[in-house]
A = this chain, B = another copy of it.
């Protein structure tokens, strides 16, 4: 396999199997035809036509849209069509930074193909000219992607907090990183993809941060979501990403982006360099 296989895997969605989900004049998501029967039982909430599904056609502002949709989503959760309800409201926006059109339960985003945003933090250490990165292994009992490898810190982006504050919060919760360290996290870009999985479609954008850690700092998980942290030499990390699917799908893109930005992968040593650069923000 090759790095490029991760771009393909993260962009495996076949949109022909989905109907666009609209809110007013905006397309805000994609609904898989397998959800069609369930959606059809809520005609006041989902107005189905041949070419698209209009969400909450009788609601016209932030609050009424969210209220109109919630009962249907709760019902889908009870039917097992939405897994892992979290009571975490996510904003529905066409683009990051737009005023939110409505809010929606986080766990429902993939079922409706609504874009979610999140933050991923590359926790790295420099020893002379050598780079190392802290890698997390997800807990075996985590509902999503159990046991898979992960970035040191990563989290979804809920409503009501800016990204930088979310990075600091997640760094404390997931890896016991004090704010004196995490405040030095640097925003370095974004990866995006449209990934189709058993829970639906994730047309998501993840904001990436680099956090250089002191050589004597060891992350420590306290919320039970991480099995263990390991510090890997960058070459081991690059090989693992290139040759395996051991990392949670989107972490591969975050790491490939890191390898490109730090000159580990270069246009002289990586034949797919240009395709990778383009594919990270597909």
Residue ranges of A at the interface with B (Cβ–Cβ < 8 Å): 95-97, 162-164, 186-190, 192, 205, 207, 260-263, 265-268, 271-275, 277-278, 281
Overall SS of chain A's interface: mixed
Q: Quick one: which of A189, A273, A278 has the most chain B CB within 10 A?
A: A189
B281 touches A97 (CB 8 A): no
Residues of B within 8 A of A186 (CB): 262-263
- What's the least CB distance linking A268 to chain B, in Å? 5
Tell me the complex Cα distance, A163–B267, Å.
7
Q: Give this chain's copy count.
A: 2
Among A205, A262, A277, A281, the most chain B Cβ lie within 10 Å of the Cβ of: A277
Closest to A188 in B: B261
Docked CA distance A75–B271 (Å): 36
Closest 3 CB pairs of A and B: A186-B263, A187-B266, A190-B277
* A187 x B97 contact (CB < 8 A): no
Which B residues are in CB contact (< 8 Å) with A273? 96-97, 190
- Given A281-B278, A281-B281, A187 and B96 contact (CB-CB distance below 8 Å): no
Residue of B95, B163, B205, B260 near A189 (CB, 8 A) is B260
In the bound assembly, the distance between CA atoms of A275 and B190 in angstroms comes to 10
